[in-house]
Amino acid sequence: MSDIQLTKKLIRVSRTTKSSFVLPSDTNTHGTLFGGRLMSYIDDIAAISASKHARSAVVTASADSIDFLQPIREGEVVSLESYVSWTHNTSMEVLVKIFAENVITGVKKVCATSFLTFVALNEEGKPTKVPEALPETKEEKFVYDGGEERMKARKARRKHSEKLASEFGSFG
C-alpha cells in the first residue's frame, strides 16, 4: 500500500445522507421541526461521516455553528448530507447540509448548514491521527479551502469559552 493511501482519503468516502418525514411529534407549536431534534440529527450524521473517514471511534469536539435559514414544516421530508470537509492531525471538520422537500409539489429548499469537529480515538480512547481529506469537486474544494481559517476561529472561540468557564467558578 502506498503512503498516499495511508495518509490521505478522498472526501467522498465520508459522504453520508439520511432522510426522514417530519411528523407531528417532531414539531414545535409553530408546526416546524424542533431545533433540538435537528441538532440531534446533525450530530448523528456528522459522527457517521467522521467515523467513515477515520475508520475509528470518534467524539464530538465542537459544533461551530448551526445556521437555521428556513423552517422545516410538518409533513416535509428533512434530508441531511454530510462529509468530512477538512482535517488536522487527530481532528476532522464535518459539513452538514440540511434540506427540506415537499414531496407533493417537489419543491426543495436549503434550510440549514452546520460545521462540527470530531476527534478520532484509538482503542485506548486516546486521540489518534486521521488521514488528510482530499477534495475533488468544486464544492469540496471551496469548503476545504476555508478549513484552516475556521480552525483558527474555533480555537479562539474555545479560549474564550475556557475563560468564561474559569470566571463562573466552581459549583457545589
Alpha helix locations (H) across the chain? Answer: 3-7, 35-54, 138-145, 147-168
Rounded CA separation 102/9 (Å): 35
pLDDT digits (tens, 9 = 90+) for 6-31: 589 999 999 999 999 999 999 999 99
Residue 120 lies in domain: 3-168
Overall pTM surpassing 0.85 (yes/no): yes
Beta sheet of 91-101, edge-to-edge order: 16-21, 77-88, 91-101, 108-121, 57-68
Burial of 108 (0-12, 13-18, 19+ CB in 10 A): middle
Task: Name the average pLDDT for the chain.
Answer: 93
pLDDT of amino acid 76: 98
pLDDT digits (tens, 9 = 90+) for 29-86: 999 999 999 999 999 999 999 999 999 999 999 998 898 999 999 999 999 999 999 9
- The domain that holds 130 is classified in CATH as 3.10.129.10
Number of domains in the chain: 1
Amino acid at 6: L
